[in-house]
Structure 1
Amino acid sequence: MFRIWLTVFLSVVLASAVAQEVLKPTSSISISGRVKSPKTVSFEELKKFKLYNLGDVVITNHKGDVKGTAKDLTGVLLKDFLQGVELDAENPKVLSEYYFTCIASDGYKVIYSWNELFNTSIGNSVYILTSKDNQPLEKLDENIVMIATQDIRTGRRYVKNLQSIIVRRAE
């Protein structure tokens, strides 16, 4: 009986280990979907935007448990980054129907609405990081990271290895 339980236990552990995806480092962000011109922005191009010193941000999970602290952060506002992207919208009135799906290299997705980013104070707290712990992110495992510093549960929208942003319109 012990052998059966041991076999089942090891099978579950092995299956869990295989099922976890390894985060693939990213060096650029592609922007596509409802845009006039899809484009890709490299990590180096990202550093040309206005940089903000964010200090330290406590990272919590969905229950509010502290998982760690991201220290000495520097980043670019997501809305500043998106300002250079011309949306395929027939008039400004329909912008309220647009949203951005931000996708990590492992498939993790976070969504922001156009209004959330450009019409509320939340837009002033969503960043694409350029450095962490006084180290450029391209030298760290997480590479391009997006964070919402004012979220109550900061880990929900902490996107490691951001690789693409797809612009869509709600139907």
Structure 2
Amino acid sequence: MKYFAALSVFLSIFLQAQKISVKGDLSKAVTFTYEDLQKYPVHEVKSIDILNHKMEFKKNLKNLKGVLLKDVLSGVIFDAPTPKELSIFYLVCTAEDGYKVVYSWNELFNTEAGDHIMLITSENGAPASGAKEGITLITPGDRATGRRYVKNLSEIVIKKAD
């Protein structure tokens, strides 16, 4: 029983360890933890194949639960004096290992794609932040899903195009 209690404490600390910072051309930088993500509406993906740029199968992810990236960023205030200027923003999403992918503000908030871009918080019932790949970012609507499959997401930098 003591082992179980110690394991529970360790897991609760470990699960909250991964943080995702959001910074850049914003009124205020913010940081999200695994616990913070639990406050958003949950979306599910039963199964998704991860395909590389050559459309070759890499792996299959099953029973995913997560939150929409646009929901998480909905409270972030972009440094845009007028709504028209939002069209020049883009997001650089970076993994702990330095892998980066890009989304435009319009893609995220003004297309159907934004209704599916997710931060995965659990896979097969296991919390994602306790897994090797941590909280991941997926774009189920992509053809080559592996191109924007970001494992251990650590940072989102909001920028304005010149």
TM-score, scaled relative to structure 2: 0.88
Alignment equivalent of 2:114, drawn from 123, 129, 149: 123
Q: Which residue of 2 aligns with 1:73?
A: 64
Counterparts of 2:129 and 2:72, CA distance in 1: 18
Q: Which residue of 2 aligns with 1:21?
A: none
Counterparts of 2:133 and 2:59, CA distance in 1: 14
Alignment equivalent of 2:128, drawn from 128, 137, 143: 137
CA deviation after TM superposition for structure 1 residue 31, in Å: 0.5
Tell me the amino acid that sits aligned with residue 96 of structure 2.
S
Alignment equivalent of 2:46, drawn from 37, 40, 55: 55
Tell me the amino acid that sits aligned with residue 140 of structure 2.
T
CA deviation after TM superposition for structure 1 residue 134, in Å: 1.6
Counterparts of 1:55 and 1:48, CA distance in 2: 21
Counterparts of 1:47 and 1:113, CA distance in 2: 25
Alignment equivalent of 2:141, drawn from 130, 150, 153: 150
* Counterparts of residues 1-171 of structure 1 (less than 5 Å): 27-171=18-162
Larger Rg belongs to: 1
Structure 1: tracts of 5 or more residues without a match: 1-25
RMSD, matched Cα: 0.8
TM-score, scaled relative to structure 1: 0.84
Q: SS of 1:142's equivalent?
A: coil
CA deviation after TM superposition for structure 1 residue 28, in Å: 1.0
Cα deviation, 1:22-79, whole Å, max 9, x if unaligned, reads xxxx611000000101011111111111111111111100000111100100010011
Counterparts of 1:134 and 1:71, CA distance in 2: 10
Q: Which runs of 4+ in 1 moved over 3 A?
A: none
Q: Which residue of 2 aligns with 1:6?
A: none
Tell me the amino acid that sits aligned with residue 42 of structure 1.
T
Counterparts of 1:49 and 1:106, CA distance in 2: 26
Identity %: 45
Structure 2: tracts of 5 or more residues without a match: 1-16
Aligned residue pairs total 146
